[in-house]
Structure 1
Amino acid sequence: MNKDHMSDTLTTLDMNAFERFTKRSVWPAYAGFWWALLYAVLVRFYEAAAGIIGGYGQLSDPRAFSMASYGAGVLIMICGFILLGLVKPWGLTFPVWVPHFRHKRIPRLFILIPTLFSSAMLIAHGTTGIVTKTLFLIGAIPLELQGWAVIDKVRLAIWDLCFYEPWFLIMGILSGLAAAYYAHASGVMLPRLRQWVIRFVLVVSLLTSLLIASIVLGVSDILSF
């Protein structure tokens, strides 16, 4: 057994179950790519072209909603390709069309920080939506929405609870797992990786708490789309 292989084996033995899983698992990046692509095409682009899925109301400005859905769909597709780049060789270096940086390795933090922040926002969004829509359906809190001329809040909440919010939550989890794999593959040391995981959990917890509080107190309707 050579020294490098022995070192890698010892490092693996020092890992907990989550760290061993993320070190070996490429599939979350591929699953996240398809999850994003299907949502962008079958939901956002469809909504923009044909109207709202579910038939739970009429928008005050359908044209603005259509443009926003197209934009969201494009952004989601880009995010999906970024996840794919976390496990592909072409995602490790700057493309040839980037002046002065072509073929140079992309700094780890340039990839990890926005990916982890996006993952945290997705998880917080999904978790907050599930909690607040459940509270609304059991009559614990009101649901204040803007941008609707006519709206069936109960049907909208059920639709969000069964479809939209789980999508955000699952997408955030897949994105976070893909980022963890990338951290392993790009050489982040185990102590530093554990620090990042702790910070990530704290950020998600803080974001989720703030979003739930803002909606329960009627301060924000950020999760109404």
Structure 2
Amino acid sequence: MQQTTMNDMALAPKQSTFERFTKRAVWPAYAGCVWALIYAVFVRFYQAAGGAIGMSGQPRNPELGFYMASYLAGVLIMICGFILLGLVKPWGRTVPAWVPWIAGKPIHRAIILIPTLLCTAFLLAHGAAGIVTRALFLAGIISINLPEQYWIDIDLHGMALWDLLVYEPWFLVMGLLSGLTAAHYAQASGISLSALRRGTALYLIFAVLLTTLFVCSIAFDFVDKISF
């Protein structure tokens, strides 16, 4: 029996540093939740209340457009932060007791994992593409055009600096924390190591392609063609 166990251990695939880290690390979920709350409160809710710090222009009809959009974005970001906690907490694996008919049943991992991975890809692509394009803009290599119907006046240079130093790094860090949490959840929910490796490789390709699309849409000014 001991010999069989030792043979099984020898034949088992060796985990990489990333796989070992994500298997035991739960702190990215807590850090991601705090990171989301900070941005939601001190950026989105602040600007929704009329705060001017970080604003590089005057939006048109702010009460009906920008302020409401900022508030809704803040609420959505807070929800996303708490969802990250659900990926590492027991209450995130079963249907809550107040849900009729299916209360207490286990939640299929795809229901949580797929939306989390899609949001993570968006966060990573948004942050990486934003940093690249703002740096190119400040270097005078590309131009950035914003829809005139949304702004009365805007300082593009100031906007690019805020994006480069504050907003886009937040997206990138949030995407990294979300991705690490998703990897932990995948292993904790029983996904095999081989499936995890294949999925990670395909996911990285998807994230790179999405980032490239975002960069090209901004650099070549066809972002309106892919907006919805």
Q: Structure 2 length as normaliser, TM-score?
A: 0.91
CA contact (8 A) 1:45 1:69 kept: yes
The aligned counterpart of 2:107 is: 106
Equivalent runs, 1:80-159 vs 2, <5 Å? 80-146=81-147, 147-159=150-162
SS of 1:62's partner is coil
* Paired residue type of 1:134: A
SS of 2:58's partner is strand
Deviates more, 1:44-53 or 1:199-208: 44-53
Matches of 2:7 and 2:104, distance apart in 1: 30
Equivalent runs, 1:16-27 vs 2, <5 Å? 16-27=16-27
The aligned counterpart of 1:29 is: 29
Matches of 1:36 and 1:52, distance apart in 2: 20
Task: Give the drift of 1:148.
Answer: 1.2
Equivalent runs, 1:1-225 vs 2, <5 Å? 14-63=14-63, 64-146=65-147, 147-220=150-223
Task: Give the drift of 1:2.
Answer: 8.6
Task: Give the drift of 1:100.
Answer: 2.2
Identify if the C-alpha distance between structure 1 residues 37 and 11 changes in structure 2 by more than 3 Å, giving closer, same or farther.
farther
Matches of 1:179 and 1:8, distance apart in 2: 28
CA contact (8 A) 1:119 1:175 kept: yes
Task: Give the drift of 1:99.
Answer: 2.5
Count of residue pairs the alignment pairs up: 221
Identify if the C-alpha distance between structure 1 residues 214 and 26 changes in structure 2 by more than 3 Å, giving closer, same or farther.
same
* Paired residue type of 2:182: A
CA contact (8 A) 1:145 1:221 kept: no
- After TM superposition, which residue ranges in structure 1, 4 or more long, deviate above 3 angstroms? 5-13
Matches of 2:197 and 2:42, distance apart in 1: 37
Identify if the C-alpha distance between structure 1 residues 30 and 207 changes in structure 2 by more than 3 Å, giving closer, same or farther.
same
Task: Give the drift of 1:61.
Answer: 2.1
Task: Kindly provide the CA deviation profile for residues 6-53 of structure 1, in whole angstroms up to 9, marking residues without a partner as x.
Answer: 799769861111111111111100100100011111110011002332
Task: Give the drift of 1:216.
Answer: 1.1
Task: Give the drift of 1:101.
Answer: 1.6
Identify if the C-alpha distance between structure 1 residues 38 and 123 changes in structure 2 by more than 3 Å, giving closer, same or farther.
same
Question: Which structure 1 residue ranges, 5 or more long, are not aligned?
Answer: none
SS of 2:98's partner is coil
* Paired residue type of 2:177: L
Identity of aligned residues (%): 57
Identify if the C-alpha distance between structure 1 residues 57 and 28 changes in structure 2 by more than 3 Å, giving closer, same or farther.
same
Task: Give the drift of 1:55.
Answer: 4.2
Question: Which structure 2 residue ranges, 5 or more long, are not aligned?
Answer: none
* Paired residue type of 2:30: Y
Identify if the C-alpha distance between structure 1 residues 151 and 76 changes in structure 2 by more than 3 Å, giving closer, same or farther.
same
Task: Kindly provide the CA deviation profile for residues 89-139 of structure 1, in whole angstroms up to 9, marking residues without a partner as x.
Answer: 100001122232211110011111110110011000000000000110001
Q: Structure 1 length as normaliser, TM-score?
A: 0.92
Matches of 1:182 and 1:11, distance apart in 2: 25
